[in-house]
Every structure is written in structure tokens, then in C-alpha cells.
Structure 1
């Protein structure tokens, strides 16, 4: 089925196509125009018309997000690299240094290993819903449809704020990274302006430009990680003359940080904040579903394979970092420090006499910053548009403005403007601002991932309550609802442990009262923000219903595949074909396709 047919089935009220310098609006040829006029016209708003005033609020939200005029230009290769690229950035390249310093090499692997398990559950749950409902806002919209209005508001606000903060955070990180080459501080503004301009320009080319840029950014990062893994294995095995092995795991260094079990446990728990920052972006496949040409084919493969690739990249590379760099190395400093350019990957190469590659790696870190900054503008602008489509923003803000090229223009402008905070890089308060931006982001990814798992549970419950089954789903999460319950359980445990670490950090007895309070909010600030937005919405709307009744949940509006019976027949045929294949092919299909 072509994209045009799909759009007609979903009753998209407006379509625009460019053919031989003619503009076709709703199938009517207006006439030949110049290229400059075509560019100007592309910024005009798509008029979808008013919705029926007799619709309920839930129906209005479902239809508004389903008919958003976003362009479906993302292909399977874009989707996979978007997810990989969003999760391989400064969190891995730089933030892992903080984790190694506070938890030790074994603590880092435990923290990231546990995080990867609930990432699997989350991304499979997200894939199941995104294949069925590739709507504007993705999982932030599911929170409104499957849970309730207040939860949807909190989820949307939290996710938009998360990416809004990341853009200046990444730009500041990039300006710090160039310190490696001895760049004078007076040139920081120039680098900030350059990074900001590149990121904004890419997003002005629409979703196709974003997807293509992200594909190549991510390719560079993946090649770099693979190169480091090969180099790291060689160094550990003695390529530079002496066998290293597990030296840094033993006396006098140790596999953990701390003199007792409590201190070591706190060290491991502190890893989860940087792990959340590092894995943040792996959920981007769900947000991009609305702009994917064929979500039924591309999203399941992306959801499964992205998890395995990210896990392998992280676990193998961090294992090698722990073998090559001591957690007591004085060059390792906190990821929320003004000297955050001290990447443990770079330290590993420098410490073992590898020349040239450290500079190459810092260039890749700059590319990673561009990649994550690119994703932040994309994600925040789409979330803001969905935020408005769901009735959460004042009409005068026009956040749902989508132009004829499928760009949520107002959202892009707001996100880009907020990115100008990156110019604080030239200020003496740079480190302090960096700390608080990082605190705002902090644990917000954990709330997002727990929310996705909860939406999946509510979606399955609605299916059951309405007498329907997973037989009608194009893709079923291989870990099922149990995986979503597991994800919520682990994330809740992490949040509780993080509260303990934030309130009573290692060495808190030597800290003043103000330092303890500051440490708590720098670690846990995103939690009160989420709680305030949730209960603030409840009080404002005077709505005390905890959940939408399962029987009333809308599980049809926005589906790309609208002929359920025909879909069931196709799924049954595909299952029969798979059942006839050898075991190893069935296993591969279950976990990777």
C-alpha cells in the first residue's frame, strides 16, 4: 500500500506534493511557481480544518494526534540509526568517567547491566504500541489515551523538558571538549555558535534531513566504538609490551569504590543516573513512528536489534575502559563538571601511549554532541506539537503549527532558542549552570521508561476488557506484559535507591547542610518536577479519576492498519511461514527481527 493510500485511509485533511515546479494542494494544481516562492510556501501552515465540536475530549485528542500532517520519510536504516545514535553520545563517551570514578569497574558493569535489562522490556513494549499507533507524540500520546489526562500531561511535560535541557547541555559539552586541543576560552562563543547553527540548519531540512544526518552521525560513532573495542582488546592483551589483564580490578585499586558494603552499594547506585543519561534516546524509535514509511516492517526490527547493539557496544567498551583506566586516575572527574572533556576513552588511549587516536576520538565526541543535539531538536519539537494537540498548551502559543514540509515550526523555534543557553560556556558560572541543567535532566528518562511500560500494561488491559486479543497486533513484545511489570519494578527500586544516595551520599558527614541539600537536588530534581506537574494538572482540571476505564480506552483511532480481519490473516500466514523454518532462524526472528 502506498503512503498516499495510507494517508487517505487515515483521512488526512491536507496533502502537498511537488511535481515539476507545480504545487498540488488537495489534488488541485495551483500553477507553476519559482523555487524561491516554493520555499516560502513550504513554511505556511497546513490547515487541517476544525474537528467536530460534538467529539469528547478523548476522541478529539486521539483524532488530532492521528491526523498530524508529519511527513513519512524515515526508512528502516534511519530508524535503527536514530535509536542507536540517540543512545551513544556524551553519556557514554564522557559520563561513564563519573561512573568509573564513583563505582569502580565492576560497579559500572553492574549498573549498566541492570539498566540494559529494563531497556529491553521498555523498547519491546514501545515497539508493540508504536507499530499499531504511529501517531504524533508517540508514547507521550499513549499516556493520555491509555492512562489518563494528568498522567499524559506529566509525561509530555517531562519528556519535552528533558530534551529542551539536553540541547544547551550538549552544546556546552561540545565547547568544553575542544579544550583538549588547548582552545582559548575566548573562542568558546564561536564554537557554541557553530554547533548551534549546524544543529538548527539540519532540522530546518525537515524529517528527511534529520534522518539522513543522524544516519551518518551514528555510523561514525559506531565505527569509532568498534575501533576502540579492537584497540582496547589489543592493549589489554599486551600489544604495547606489557600484559594488563585485570590489573586495575585488584589491589591496590579494587573492583569497587568504598571501604564497606554500604559505600560500595551507594557507588553502584550512583551509576544509574549517568546510565539513564547515557541510554536516554533509545526510545526515539517510538517518537519517530509517525514519520516512518512502513512502521510495521521497520519498527520491530529496530526495537529488538537496537537493544542488542547498544548493550554490546556499552558492555564491551565499558569493560575495556575498566581494564585500561584505574578508577583512582586523577584525570577522571564528574560528568557534571566544567572539565567534562576528560573522557575515559581518551584517557585509556593516552595512558597507553596511543598517539593520534585521542584527537580522533575527541572529534567523534564532537560529532556525538551534534548527533544528540540534533535528536533533541527533533524530539522536543515533536513532543511540543503533540503537547498542544492534546490540549495541554494555550492556543495562542501555536505549538501544533506544522508547515507544508511537515516541520513543527514553532516547536523547532522554541527548542532552538532555548539552545542559546549554550553561550553560558564563556561564563565563569559555566560549571554551575552545567550542574543544574544536568540535574533537570537527571532521572527524567527513568520516568519516561516507566511510563512507557505502564502504558503497555494499560493497553493490554484495554484489549482484554474489550474482548480482543494480541492476535490482531502486527508485533507482540517478546517479553510480554511481564516484561513491562519487571521494567516498572526495577525502575522503582532504582528511584528508591537513588533517593537514598541523593539524601545521604558517600562522605555526607563531612558535608555542610547547604552542600547536602544542593547534592540532593542536583541528583533528584527531576522527581519533584514530575510530581508537581502530575498533581498540578489534577488540581487544575479537578479530575480525581485515577485511570480511564479499560472498557473506554480508544484502541482503534490512529492505526495504520485499519482492516483488522485482513491484518489477522496476514499475521497468521507470517506465523505459519516462520514455524516452518529451522529453530535457529525462529530464535533469531524472535529476538532480532
Structure 2
């Protein structure tokens, strides 16, 4: 009688599970081959069936018995590395997603309240400083995403490099952030329509936009990529056009022929409410960059993450410089911070957009309608992105055992179908658009995850720092990495400190609001996110009865899910690339560094 087969240890299993990228679209082809041959309708029906287990991967599948021998962190790393999501996003998709994802209501509408609170100088100081922190954070995310292009992105990085409770808290709060954002953006879109017609019930347009988002998201990741490519392209062209038009208006080339110059910077004043006003803009600026980190979620669905992710991360620099800082400089120059129309600025009211006000002040009649069309496209784009973010976050949580297993259902088209449907069903909450309680309801929903972007960025910074510490502790270095963050670990420390300062500023503004007295309502409305995150973290600790505060550097897994490339071959390829680059003109080398 043969002896029973011993169960392998977690380290043995993970050492055999090297990478899930060592195959050439075998997953997609194997699933396509299992589709019905009964025509388009049969293929469509079959596409909703469970994803076929990948047979062309070089990474090793493990049995349930073997998986039980793994720790929670090992199990999460293994499952995220063997995700069934479709790898269909092309380089052009990722680059345009990186450029245009966060160009939405935060820039077009939210900048209006920021201008009224901080003044033109406060607006630019805050956005400039926050943008440096965002850029440093995205560099660290780029290094992790290229090295570990696994399902869940920054969510799984927090679980693997910090500790699971952090990953649980960050993942669920990120899910809630974008879950609430979908109905909010649908309401914003319906209200934008009122710029042309005030008589039609808002719920009619909510229904139209909801079906549009549902249709796009059910097309799969390729549909999302194509939609975002088009949406982002339109937004980019619009912002560039606005900048050119603004320069003309500032110089007196508009219908009024009024030379504006720096008048609005001197009168009434460069700062609206002193230092407190600047601090309030820090918070608004940080929120406006929300969605920048979504590039990290796309890594597991990119055809070629090694080439696509670095280009997408570098595109962040241009988005910050051109689409935020330059356009906001134009806005601050053309619109007075004490303009009464800015006082009504809110996340669901595009009528107070400083971009529209700037063009109206210039005496141009047709362009405001065009800008409102762009705002409408922007809010639909953010709504579309919110479904992508929530569905991938929920799928990742399910893979890690942090959400019900059925919520991680992936079909043969590589869609996290259940997660997509859950998000879209919640979007029906937008039908309160016609209610007089819509603002209050959305304010409290947003308050639940209002600081989620900050916590996500902090987790990215700490994950990158811990990853570098693990490499150093285990006698390894960045020479084995395909892409290295330009700021290194120091950049992540800088991003971490800046995000912590934003939390402090938010606490101060929440406790002592501008133009008001301290009160519990305003404080919890602006700072409810912190106790929610802490409660999420604590609930996981109690659930798992694991009070470990962080994973020791020597125990961090820096192998599972990596692109399995021979270090010697990689160094040879990088040396050849540097050699070819050195022969290029200076301007090309500069371009290659930042683009």
C-alpha cells in the first residue's frame, strides 16, 4: 500500500508558482475555443458561463488541499496571480486612461469651490504641491504594477507588503468610494442637461445614462478601454482648446477686447481666506486627483504591462502639468474668486463650473454649451470608470477571501460579471435625482469613503517602501526590476508625508470650517472616512484573530505573480536599450525620460 502524498508547505507551493504572465494570450484563446459554434447568439450566451480554467499557463495550479496549507497572505498572492480576468487592454488604452481618467468633475466643477475658498494663489500653490505627491506616489505604483501585474493592484499590494487587515480596509473603502461615485455622476450628468432644458424630469436622463454605462461595462475590459480612449481624447482636446482660448481672452482677443492680464490676481487679492483657505484647497486638490491610481488596477488586464504601464505612469506628469496646472492658471486669471456664481459650486452642479464662467465672462456665447457637453462626457467617463474600479476591487477582495466567493465570479469573456452587476444595480440609487433630499443623501454617502483616495495613496506609498525594504533585507536589489520608480523609496516617503499632511489639513478644516463655527455635522461630514477605515481594519483583526501589525521584511513574498524574466537576460536587454537611447538626440532622450 503506497504511502500518502505529503502536503507541500506554502513556501514550496509558491516557489513553483512563479508567474502568470508566461503565456501568450493562452487564457483568452482557450476560452474562445470553448465558445459555442452556433453563431453569434450562442457565443454571446456562452460568454456568460464561468471562465475556463487556464491550461496554457506555466504557473502551477494548486488543489484545495494544498491551498489549505497556505497562510492568508500566501493564498491571496496565489489567487491574484492566477486571476481569470481578460488581458485585452492595449498600450494606447492605458496611456489615455492615465491621461484622462481623473479629468472630471474635480477639475471642471470642483475647482470652482477651490477658487472661491483659496483664491488664485491658493489654488495653484495647493494643486502644485499635491501634484508632486501624486506623481511620486504613481511612480511607486508603477514599479509595483510592472513587477507584479496581478489582479487587485494596490489592494493586494497592501495585503502582501504591509498586512492583510490594511488590504481589507483599503480595498473595501476604495470599493465604497467608487460605488457611491456612480450614482453621483449619473445625477451630475442629469443636472448638466438642465443647462439646456429645465423642464424635463431629471430621472429620464438618469435612466438613459445608466443604460449607457451598463452597456459599456458589459462589453468587457476592451469595451471599457475603447470607451475611455474616446472619452479621454475628447476631454484632452477640450482642455487644450480651453487653454488656447483662455490665452486669447487674457490678452484681450475676445469679443469684449478687454485686456485682463493679472487683474484678478491683484483685485480682490491673491488669497481668499488666508492659510486656512489654502489648506481647504489642499483637500479639494487631493480629491480631484482621485482615480489616478486606477492605472494600477489595469495592470492585470494589460496585454503587455512591461511596456504599457511605464508609459502610462509617465503620462501622469503631463496630465498634472498641462491638464491641471496650466488650465487652472487660466481659470484663476479669468475668474474672480469672489464671483457669486462660484458660491453654488458642488459635485453635482456643473452650472458653477469656473470653465463655463470664464468663457461667459469673455463674451463668447457658443463655447459654454460646448464646455457643458465636455463636462457631460467627463461625468459619464467617471461613471464608467467607477464601475471598472468597483468591479475589479470587489473581484480582488473575493479572490483574497475578504468578500463572498460568489462576488468574484468571472465569465468566459474575462468579466467580473457579478461585481459589475452589483455596481450597476447600486447606480439605480441615482433616481433620487428628482428628490429635494438628493444633496444631503449624497453628502453622507460620500462621507463614508470621502478620504478613501488619501488612504489608498498612503497604502501605495507604504507598500512600495516595504517592498524595497524586503528586497534589501533578502539580499536583492532594483537591478532585477523591469521598471524602477524615478524617485525611489525617497519619493514614496515624500508622498506618504504629504498625504498625512492632507489628513491633518482635512481634520482642521472639518473641525473649524471656513466661514462657520465648529459643529459635529460638518466635522463628521468631512472626516467620517477615518473612523470607517479604522472600523474596517479592526473588524478584520477581530474576524481573523490576527493582531500582527506588519509583515516582517524577511517574510515578505517578492516572487509570486512576478513577470518571470531571467535577471541576466533582463540586464542585457536594458543595457541594449540604454545603448540605443544614448545614440539618440538630446531632445529624444528627454522625451523618453518623461513620456
Give TM-score scaled by structure 1 length.
Answer: 0.91
For residue 38 of structure 1, what is the aligned residue in structure 2? 43
How far does residue 338 in structure 1 lie from its aligned partner after superposition?
A: 5.9
How far does residue 579 in structure 1 lie from its aligned partner after superposition?
A: 4.3
How far does residue 34 in structure 1 lie from its aligned partner after superposition?
A: 2.4
The DSSP-based 3-state class of the residue aligned with 2:225 is: helix
For residue 119 of structure 1, what is the aligned residue in structure 2? 134
1:45-444 alignment runs, 5 A limit = 45-48=50-53, 50-51=63-64, 52=66, 53-184=68-199, 186-240=200-254, 241-251=257-267, 253-258=268-273, 264-336=274-346, 339-395=349-405, 398-444=406-452
How far does residue 132 in structure 1 lie from its aligned partner after superposition?
A: 0.9
How far does residue 385 in structure 1 lie from its aligned partner after superposition?
A: 0.3
Identify which of 473, 482, 494 aligns with 2:481.
473
8 Å Cα contact 1:80/1:302 also seen in 2: yes
Decide whether aligned partners of structure 1 residues 489 and 182 sit closer, same or farther in structure 2, where only a CA change above 3 A counts: same
Identify which of 473, 486, 500 aligns with 1:492.
500
8 Å Cα contact 2:188/2:347 also seen in 1: no
Identify which of 567, 570, 576 aligns with 2:570.
567
Identify which of 448, 454, 466 aligns with 1:446.
454
How far does residue 325 in structure 1 lie from its aligned partner after superposition?
A: 0.9
The DSSP-based 3-state class of the residue aligned with 2:33 is: strand
CA distance in 1, matches of 2:300, 2:575: 25
For residue 462 of structure 1, what is the aligned residue in structure 2? 470
CA distance in 2, matches of 1:364, 1:170: 14
How many residues are aligned here?
565
CA distance in 2, matches of 1:453, 1:70: 26
CA distance in 1, matches of 2:248, 2:215: 40
Decide whether aligned partners of structure 1 residues 337 and 232 sit closer, same or farther in structure 2, where only a CA change above 3 A counts: same
CA distance in 2, matches of 1:199, 1:536: 33
Decide whether aligned partners of structure 1 residues 129 and 587 sit closer, same or farther in structure 2, where only a CA change above 3 A counts: same
Which sections of structure 2, spanning at least 5 residues, go unmatched? 1-18, 54-60
How far does residue 205 in structure 1 lie from its aligned partner after superposition?
A: 0.5
CA distance in 2, matches of 1:491, 1:313: 22
For residue 581 of structure 2, what is the aligned residue in structure 1? 578
Deviations 1:472-493 (A, max 9, x none): 1000011110000000011111
Deviations 1:214-249 (A, max 9, x none): 000000000110111011010011113111111111
Range with bigger deviation, 460-469 or 436-445: 436-445
How far does residue 310 in structure 1 lie from its aligned partner after superposition?
A: 3.1
CA distance in 2, matches of 1:425, 1:451: 34
The DSSP-based 3-state class of the residue aligned with 1:458 is: helix
CA distance in 1, matches of 2:36, 2:525: 58
CA distance in 1, matches of 2:25, 2:408: 15
CA distance in 1, matches of 2:20, 2:540: 34
Range with bigger deviation, 302-311 or 375-384: 302-311
Which sections of structure 1, spanning at least 5 residues, go unmatched? 1-5, 259-263
The DSSP-based 3-state class of the residue aligned with 2:407 is: coil
8 Å Cα contact 2:283/2:502 also seen in 1: no
8 Å Cα contact 2:344/2:352 also seen in 1: no
Give TM-score scaled by structure 2 length.
Answer: 0.91
The DSSP-based 3-state class of the residue aligned with 2:195 is: helix
The DSSP-based 3-state class of the residue aligned with 1:124 is: helix
8 Å Cα contact 2:280/2:509 also seen in 1: yes
CA distance in 2, matches of 1:9, 1:238: 59
1:536-575 alignment runs, 5 A limit = 536-575=539-578
Decide whether aligned partners of structure 1 residues 338 and 205 sit closer, same or farther in structure 2, where only a CA change above 3 A counts: closer
CA distance in 1, matches of 2:488, 2:537: 27
For residue 11 of structure 2, what is the aligned residue in structure 1? none
How far does residue 76 in structure 1 lie from its aligned partner after superposition?
A: 1.1
How far does residue 63 in structure 1 lie from its aligned partner after superposition?
A: 1.3
8 Å Cα contact 2:20/2:561 also seen in 1: no
For residue 3 of structure 1, what is the aligned residue in structure 2? none
Deviations 1:38-60 (A, max 9, x none): 11110011154854333333222
